[in-house]
Structure 1
């Protein structure tokens, strides 16, 4: 009897515990816990949110307001109203022309291009730009006359309908150059050129000397060949420019040791084809001869004489060398 009562009490306790931990109560508890966690997260986020900025209202004085209004008035008066209106009108004109150009059907453009190319081919390969322009202009005048008369006879020499003749007539009258661009034809414009010969008579032509400018001490003479004792053999002494050759002469004279010849004459070959000399050597471009003479004398100047060239057939007309007697 006692054992039965104890067993019944034990079963009732387990039943009570099972009722307390039911699925409904567990679900409610989990939902409440999630809600509390969400509220805590939301609070933490809002606590770090930046405070709204204060909008400061600037108070302007009457003098500042007057200056602002004055600047607005000056800016409006300085606005190029006429220029803006002219630009607007031009934009409308260009828009209309572009629209008219696009109205021309592709098939009609191809037909026009074939006609123009055939007209240009008739000139041959030796046709000048002027002849090409004249040929195209002649075709335009003939076609325009045909398009104008097509409306009266409802036919055209090109086989155009009245609508095609109307579109082509408009293109030839107002958009001729644009039509040429569309079909890929461009003829260089004729640039008038007037030759002005205002150079004084007997004025020598100015020659350009390659390289840096020469020092006044060089006393440069074009087409001149001075003689003298060789201080530096030019066959093995080349310089990039005449200025470098002259500077080499000045440096040699400045640094010469006692008893040595001091350079006071420099002779340079500026020609890329070499320079003629009556000796047996071949004188090449950029040869720089350093010479010395107490009384410098010219071997040749400007041109070789006819008698000299008769006896020296290899001699050119003009003396190719350039040289100078330094004033250091």
Structure 2
């Protein structure tokens, strides 16, 4: 009995529990090893995809025969030898020389002398005069000063206020860098623009109307007035009376007056809309292109002339700047 109890205690608290603990530890090690193996496998595949293909392409690329390689090398050599090396050096030297010339500036004392002389030249010709004369005076001064600088540069004596050491620089600037000289001095003379009006109107012809009207030219008895709207009693209602042109509208008024019976009202005013967008009028109607109003008034009065007033346009937002109607009072 005592031995059996001892055996039971030993199995529960001694070595008898070792097999169960070893089982869990071994399972954990196996799972971790499996995860590590999977991770290594994944990393290996990624590494292979990134580096294996370029490496393979590098080694599996197109291979050239020795004869082809020799021809390519010879082509590169010929191309290098055919470079215009001498010309490139000349161009580079020219650029350097021009850069050195571009950097030439007027010394301050010389700049002040030239400025004072040019101001005196412009003062003589009157700075407010014709700019063409100003240009001619400045150009003449330039030619004289250039000749003076060249004379000093060549070692010849000259009655000049320019120093001999300044002559070479001044001659170069006046001859080749004249716009830069003017820029450094700060002189700008505007170009004089003269507009000559060319009148090609045939002799004896009247001036053209300010608005070009479609159709035939209106006869004098129509007394056409642009940008004008006459009032009066309607003889022909323009909303339903359309004509192809102002000439046709005026002719309709003349015909109406000619053919009217003794007791009928005779047309003595015609009003025509020549504008494609229509003509504004302070009534409820939308007046359209080719409307021809025939009217009568014993003493014709103008409703609108030339431009609508600003106060009128404020009251009528749709009103344009100018009166669009064309009209006339028939001569009796």
Q: What's the TM-score, normalizing by structure 2?
A: 0.44
Q: TM-score, normalised by structure 1?
A: 0.44
